[in-house]
Amino acid sequence: MRLDASQVSQFEDTGYLFMPDCFDTSEAALLRNSAQRVYALDREEVWREDNGAPRTAFAAHTYDEAFRRLGAHPRLIEPVMQLLDGQVYIHQYKVNAKAAFDGAVWQWHQDYGTWKRDDAMPEPRAMNIAVFIDEVATFNGPLMFIPGSHRSGVLPAGHDLETTSYPLWTLDRATVKELADRGGIVAPTGAPGSVLMFHSNLVHASPPNISPWPRTIVYLSLCEVRNHIRQYKRPEWIAHRDFTPIEPLDDNCLRALASEQAA
């Protein structure tokens, strides 16, 4: 799967690209069922909110077959290879939940800011792909982006160890306001199977989910192989150390697994 010239231009200009219905309903359902199984596991990679609600399952591609296949799916890997102009490896893999009523906030931040400070990733030659496996709507904690903020480079940030269960390098309010006054804020929404690609320096956040509907998104953080991390202070299941280039699987790999499980 290759992006056309208009999609590449939009990504370079805004820092993100939204592709609705990238995966069909059967593929999204397969991933949703896998997420429920993963969240039920008692593993160190599965993190929870203070009230016990699921928050993040790290490295799910290493212990779940559907997420393993998603991590090498050509609809995700090939566009990133195109934009980064090289082969890529998985730097981080997360299945992020915002449980109904209980999903907590993610503060304003840049992902590369964390990767640079905590993992010594040399350059922002890495990006995120977000796969919706629930419907993402305006009321259940969608991702919010500041378009064009990726062009500001790595911004000063403070290490927030208290607001959420997961530590983040977060931006202060004055910085966020200045960027938002210039670029605005968008919150792409869509059906299960929709995909968001966004630059690793794009400023983003998400509000709490106090609606009665859950919101789960799978995140692949993909890095160009020559740009691999140089520092290993975080656990391997948070910041991976296998820099082997991903070999994309067949486009039908998720549908085939769904058929196998249904048989």
Interior angle at CA 54, CA 170 and CA 106, nearest 5: 15
Amino acid 163: pLDDT? 57
Domains of the chain in sequence order: 5-262 (2.60.120.620)
Identity of the residue numbered 201 = N
Q: Examine the pLDDT at 165 and tell me if it is beyond 60.
A: no
pLDDT, mean of residues 32-50: 92
Contacts made by residues 231-234, CB under 8 angstroms, sequence distance 24+: 231/118, 231/119, 231/120, 232/119, 233/118, 233/119, 234/118, 234/119
Amino acid 262: pLDDT? 82
Q: Which of 29, 101, 11, 97 is nearest to 66 (CA)?
A: 29
pLDDT single digits (tens) 80-110: 999 999 999 999 999 999 888 887 887 899 9
The pTM (predicted TM-score) of the whole model is 0.92
Whether 125 and 227 have beta carbons less than 8 Å apart is answered as: yes
Name the percent of the chain lying above pLDDT 90.
81
Q: Examine the pLDDT at 263 and tell me if it is beyond 90.
A: no
pLDDT single digits (tens) 140-157: 999 999 999 999 888 877
